[in-house]
């Protein structure tokens, strides 16, 4: 139907929550996600896949 999926992840929880949102939920955007900076390979993936964060 064209709707984009979004998850609130990586604000209070670990970067693993962001990985799960990407892999399990196939999200198009992450709300918050500030803990991604703890995992440089996660930041690289967000950039490569052009996944925006709302911070």
Residue pointed to by tokens 């996600």: 33
Active-site residue flag, 20: no
Catalytically annotated residue among 11, 12, 20, 49: 11
Supply the residues annotated as catalytic.
11
């Amino acid at each position: 139907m064209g709707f984009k999926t979004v998850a609130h992840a990586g604000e209070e929880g670990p970067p693993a929550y962001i990985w799960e949102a990407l892999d399990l939920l196939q999200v198009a955007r992450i709300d918050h996600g500030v803990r991604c900076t703890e995992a440089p390979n996660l930041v690289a993936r967000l950039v490569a896949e052009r996944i925006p964060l709302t911070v």
